Amino acid sequence: MKRLSLFTKCLIIFVGCWVFLRFIVGNVISVPIPGSVVAMYMGLIIIAILVHISVEDSRFREFLRPIHETLIDDNKRLRRRVIAVLIPFALLAYTYSIFAQRANPPGNPRDAHPSPPLELTYKDEVIGKMQEVENPFRHYEKDDPEAFKAHVENGRRVYYQNCFYCHGDDLDGQGHFAPHLQPLPANFQDPGIIPNFQESFLFWRISKGGPGLPAAGTPWDSAMPVWEDMLTKDEIWDVILFLSDYTGYQPRTFGEGH
Amino acid sequence: MIRRYQNTIFLTLLLALASVFSVADAQNAPEASEEGKRVYEKSCAHCHGTEGRGDGSAAENLLPRPRDFTRGLYKIRSTETGQVPTDQDLFDIITEGMPGTSMPGWDTSLSANERWEVVAYIKTFYDGFKENTAPRQIDLSGKIAYAEQSIETGKALYTELGCVECHGNVGRGDGTSAPTLTDEWGFQTWPANLAQGWTFRGGSETEDIFKRFIGGIAGSPMPAFEGDSFLHFGLTSEESKRLTELENKDEMTEAEDEESAAFYEKMDAAVDIALRITEGETLNAADRQSFNNAMKVVYEKSWHLANYVKSLSPEKRPEPAIGNNALRSQYIGGELPTLGDAAWETLKASYFPLVGQVILEPRQFNPTIDSVNVKSFYNDNEVAFLFTWDDRTHTTASEDEETGKMLEDAVAIQFPVKVPQGPTAPKPYFLWGGRLPVYLWYWKASAPEQVTELTAKGISNAEVQAVQSDLQAEGTYTDGQYNLWVKRALKTDDKKDLQLEPEVFVPIAFSAWDGANGDVEAKRVISSWYTFVLEPVPSSRRFIYPPLVALLSVGALFGLRGFARRRNS
């Protein structure tokens, strides 16, 4: 087999790197790499290739040889013609695609977990400081397992009469209305939610819903209802017990590190 | 016609028993176990009830109701009419869920093992599963390929066999009987919208649909192949056609009367033969032959029907109008097209899925409107929209028995009054505004040529604008579908109106009411915010620069070759 020319090698490295960055890495980490980042890396690769071929005169000449041959050798006529058609055509398509590009609507950047207010309230009634309020029924878990179970059961009832349409049967955020809401309903099976927040935070989110979010949480977009209008205080505490019982995640307790 | 189906249910059961098709493989669920009970009680009981009676705490708000397992009625089976499902059927439906209902798929949240355990457990609610005979499965081997010819045949059968009565002329579930249907348990049920295959409970492949015809949808009023009337069991295709023709006549002559009576006799005779098979009688060759022929005709009809039904829906549910699919109004030089203009056909609609409003009381847990499709054109002064949505009933005014409120079909299209500048700028609350107001176009079925402009600062805080712009509107209802055409000037003098400019992305959202489903005021279907834009006219530079670049590159290549040759010589 003929040895590959230096030019072909460089071409293979260049195309290989592009395919790797553009298609393979994105798939492995399951987020596509932004076009501008790919472009930056490809720029670096071009510089590296240029440095490599220009350190020695002979290497540079070797690199140019196939180009030179393609341009003038009689027996390379076919290749020459193919290239003379392909390059202008590719440029035509590329520039057309730039001009024909349509603008896409802006995204909805939002802070999914903005800071809560200092005070926890239910309707207008102040319950206490956000950092201090605990779930009044949580202590039954140790003191009176039967009573605790009754509260969890009540929470289950509240959940399946009110929440599962959005947050899903399995609390995974995939209720039958969920796919058509933006932002998507929270997925309580995600370890980033319940274990990260105190019960008072969850109480705040449930009682005030989307409209109670600060501006960073884009309160105008969230479909999360204001449950203090529809549920009693106890029902909200119970549904919180259910969320943690069903998923097996314990909410963060007061005093745990910050 | 519907009464006729009921008369034949008994017959059907016998008929199904009589037929001679392949027998299911051995049942493969494990014995019922504690594990199955545990899974059931954690994941299913709050809907299907601890005792399997379909009366869990969530049930009250749901339509269709969660299934009552104690009756052994299963809609989605691979087995014949009157048979219980196979274990595989149960496993599959638990895995996939039932689209268009609250029954979720459990493929990701329960392991295959857990799903098999729960199959075994739900079977304990119904004694019929204890019989050891395997249910007979529907034979799929005679499949008729999906092709033009078969679809046409299916289309004719669709009208001939009375599907129209429930599913409507073109299948949108708007037949005359549609509002009157109840299921086995007495709850209201709607015929499927055959143009929305993604809502079919048992899947939208031709095989799936075929199985629903042969096996029936147990518990629902949708008839299965039921002996003498539904699929004209015992008649050839020609005879069946002729019978429909006769029955559609306002008045029959004496001769025609006799002809029709003869057809009924023939069907009765066919059913009689089927009955004799169930009774264990061995048939003579002639009778056996005529029975087999009758079955063959029914199977063929069902394949044609399945192909036709399949042809009514897009391949899959359309992509919602987000990102690249956002609603883009197209520029037109002259007059904007009016309702019915062929120009609308040239645009691809943007699809806005709608969900039940379950955020404020009174809530709508069981929406009947799936989505609204939108197209738009604009010119230098005006913009025109075409809103299209399916609704099985045309309700212009009907009094709600419970509340005394007037129910009516309607739609509202919502924009902010001021377009937010930049992606992080505040928008009005998506549900009819709040602190920031929204600008609304409200249309109702009783005044199809009028759109009212509203300003709202909350769902119960909307007022009709004092100054109404010159909005033109025209709405029609045909075959289960509303089309609403609206035209407005891009700019108005009213500060409370949204002002439109090309290239600016504008938030848009929808509310819709189906009067027949009890929708009124806050009880409705809604969407969250989407975006729409008056798409800029594509720059004509796209025809100038690219060819120029290509030409230059050709020049450069020639130059390069010339240079190389000169160097060489």
The answer to whether the bond into A66 is cis (omega within 30° of 0) is no
Asked if the Cβ–Cβ distance from B553 to A68 is below 8 Å, we say no
Give the one of A88, A109, A209 whose C-beta lies nearest to B553's C-beta. Answer: A88
Provide the chain B residues 308-337 that lie in CB contact (below 8 A) with chain A. 320, 322-324, 326, 328
Nearest chain A residue to B62 by CA: give it.
A161
Q: Quote the minimal CA–CA distance from A142 to chain B in Å.
A: 22
H/E element, A146: helix A145-162
Range of the domain at B363: 323-537
Percent of chain A with pLDDT over 90: 64
What's this model's pTM, rounded to 2 decimal places?
A: 0.86
Same domain, B247 and B395: no
In a domain, B317, yes or no: no
Residue B17 domain-assigned (yes or no): no
pLDDT score of A2: 67
Tens digit of each residue's pLDDT (9 = 90 or more) over A201-231: 999 999 999 999 999 999 999 999 999 999 9
Domain contains B164: yes
| B177, B75: one domain | no
| Nearest by CB: B545 against A83, A95, A246 | A95
List, in sequence order, the alpha helices (H) in B398-502: none
Find out whether B222 and B212 touch, Cβ atoms under 8 Å: yes
pLDDT band at A255; cut points 50, 70, 90: low
pLDDT value for B543? 85
Domain map of chain A by residue range?
6-100, 119-247
Final residue in a domain of this structure, among B261, B283, B311: B311
In chain A, count H helices and then E strands. Answer: 10, 2
B213-230 per-position pLDDT tens digit:
888 899 998 876 544 456
Whole-number pLDDT of residue B229 = 55
pLDDT in tens, A162-197: 999 999 999 999 999 999 999 999 999 999 999 999
Nearest to B77 by CA among B183, B205, B210, B195: B210
| Chain A residues within an 8 Å CB radius of B554 | 84, 88
pLDDT, mean of residues A131-147:
94
What tokens appear for B86 in the block?
């196979």
Other beta carbons less than 10 A from residue B479's beta carbon: 12
Residues B265 and B126 in one domain: no
Please give, rounded to a whole number of angstroms, the shortest distance from the CA of A134 to a CA of chain B: 27
B57 in A contact zone (CB under 8 Å): yes
**Angle (deg, nearest 10), helices B148-160 and B237-247:** 40
Same domain, B177 and B288: yes
Task: Tell the burial category of A120 from Cβ atoms under 10 Å away from its Cβ (0-12, 13-18, 19+).
Answer: buried
What count of Cα atoms within 13 Å lies in the side-chain half-sphere of residue B5?
15
**Residue B251 and residue B376 in one domain:** no
Residue of B38, B41, B50, B57 for testing the chain A interface, max A β-carbons within 10 Å? B57
Kindly state the tokens that stand for A61: 């000449």
Mean pLDDT of A226-239: 96
Instruction: Tell me whether B9 touches chain A (CB under 8 Å).
Output: no
Per-residue pLDDT, A101? 76
Q: How far apart are the first and last CA of chain A?
A: 65
Strand segments (E) across chain A: 119-122, 125-129
- Number of Cα atoms under 13 Å in the Cβ half of residue B32: 12
Q: Is B111 on the interface with A (CB under 8 A)?
A: no
The DSSP element (H or E) to which A37 belongs, if any, is helix A35-54
Angle at CA B518, nearest 5°, toward B71 and B224? 35
Residue B118 lies inside a defined structural domain of this protein? yes
Three-state secondary structure readout of B23-74: ECCCCCCCCCCHHHHHHHHHHCHHHHCCCCCCCCCCHHHCCCCCCCHHHCCC
List Cβ<8 Å contacts ≥24 apart for B318-324: B318/B349, B318/B351, B318/B371, B318/B373, B319/B351, B320/A180, B320/B351, B320/B352, B320/B353, B320/B530, B321/B350, B321/B351, B321/B352, B321/B374, B321/B530, B322/A105, B322/A182, B322/B530, B323/A104, B323/A105, B324/A102, B324/A104
SS3 B283: coil
Q: Report which secondary-structure segment, H or E, holds B488.
A: strand B481-489
- Cis (ω within 30 of 0) for the bond into A195? no
B74 domain-assigned: yes
B400-416 pLDDT, tens per residue? 878 888 899 999 999 99
Q: Which pLDDT does position A163 carry in this prediction?
A: 96
User: For residue A107, which residues of chain B lie inside 8 Å, CB to CB?
Assistant: 423
- Which residues lie across from B182 on neighbouring strands? B188
| B415 and B464 assigned to the same domain | yes
One domain for residues B431 and B357: yes
> What is the structure's pLDDT at B278?
60
Tokens of A82: 């193919």
Show which of B130, B157, B183 is a domain's final residue. Answer: B130
Tell me what ipTM this predicted complex has: 0.85
Helix (H, G, I), strand (E, B) or coil at B373: strand
Between positions 332 and 371 of B, the ones with CB within 8 A of A are 353-356, 358-361, 365
Query: Do the Cβ atoms of A221 and B422 come within 8 Å?
Result: no
Residue B514's pLDDT is what? 96
Which pLDDT score is estimated for B306? Answer: 96
From A93's Cα to the closest Cα of chain B, the distance in A is 7
How many angstroms separate the CA atoms of A249 and B449, rounded? 56
Q: Show pLDDT as tens, one digit a residue, over chain B (569 residues).
A: 444 444 344 444 334 433 433 333 445 778 878 999 999 999 999 999 999 999 999 999 999 999 999 999 999 999 887 789 999 999 999 999 999 999 999 998 899 999 999 999 999 999 989 886 778 788 899 999 999 999 999 999 998 888 999 999 999 999 999 999 999 999 999 999 999 999 999 999 999 999 998 888 999 988 765 444 567 788 888 888 888 888 888 888 999 999 999 988 888 888 788 777 666 688 889 888 888 888 888 899 999 999 999 999 999 999 999 988 899 999 998 999 999 999 999 999 999 999 999 999 999 999 999 999 999 999 999 999 999 999 999 999 888 878 888 899 999 999 999 999 887 899 999 999 999 999 999 999 999 999 999 999 999 999 999 999 999 999 999 999 999 999 999 999 999 999 999 999 999 999 999 999 999 999 999 999 999 999 988 777 888 888 999 999 999 988 988 888 888 77
Q: Is residue B1 part of a domain?
A: no
Mark which of B311, B339, B371 sits at the end of a domain: B311
A119-247 placed in CATH 1.10.3470: no
> What's the rounded Cα separation, in Å, for the pair B104 and A172?
12
Could you read off the pLDDT of B18-32 as tens digits, one per residue?
Answer: 343 333 344 577 887
Average pLDDT rounded to a whole number, residues A89-118: 86
Asked if residue B547 and residue B530 are part of one domain, the reply reads: no
Give the Å distances, CA to CA, from B220 to B171, B185, B189, B404: 17, 9, 8, 30
B130 DSSP 8-state letter: G
Nearest to B319 by CA among B353, B370, B355, B346: B353
Specify whether the CB–CB gap between B370 and B199 falls below 8 A.
Answer: yes
Place of tokens 């006769």: B246
Domain count, chain B: 4
At residue B166, the pLDDT reads 94
B43 contacts A169 by C-beta, under 8 angstroms: yes
Q: Does A111 have pLDDT greater than 70?
A: yes
Nearest residue in chain B measured CA to CA from A211: B429
Residues B245/B235, Cβ–Cβ less than 8 Å: no
Residue B136 included in any domain: no
Q: Tell me, what's the pLDDT at B21?
A: 37
- Asked if B528 lies within 8 A of A221 by C-beta distance, the reply is yes
CATH number of domain containing B111: 1.10.760.10
Cβ-based neighbours of B498, under 8 Å, separated by 6 or more: B415, B416, B417, B418, B419, B439, B506
| B412 Cα to chain A: minimum distance (Å) | 18
Q: How far is CA B356 from CA A176, A252, B310, B368, B554, in A?
A: 10, 34, 27, 9, 60
Please answer whether residues B119 and B91 qualify as being in contact, where contact means their C-beta atoms are separated by less than 8 angstroms: yes
Distance (Å) from the C-alpha of residue A256 to the closest C-alpha of chain B? 31
Residue contacts between A and B (CB atoms, under 8 Å)? 148
Tell me whether residue B250 is exposed, middle or buried, using C-beta atoms within 10 angstroms of its C-beta: 0 to 12, 13 to 18, 19 or more: exposed
**Nearest CB partner across the interface for B43, out of A169, A182, A223:** A169
Query: Can you give the pLDDT at residue B9?
Result: 42
- Kindly state whether residues B232 and B335 are assigned to the same domain: no
pLDDT of residue B19: 40
What angle, rounded to 10 degrees, do the helices at B206-215 and B285-311 form?
Answer: 130
Question: What does the mean pLDDT of chain B come to?
Answer: 89
Interface test with A, best of B39, B44, B46 (most A CBs within 10 A): B46
Nearest residue in B to A215, CA atom: B426
Phi-psi region of B173 (alpha: psi -120 to 50; beta: other; left: phi over 0): left
List residues bridging with B50 in a β-sheet: none
- Say yes or no for a CB contact (<8 Å) between A211 and B429: yes
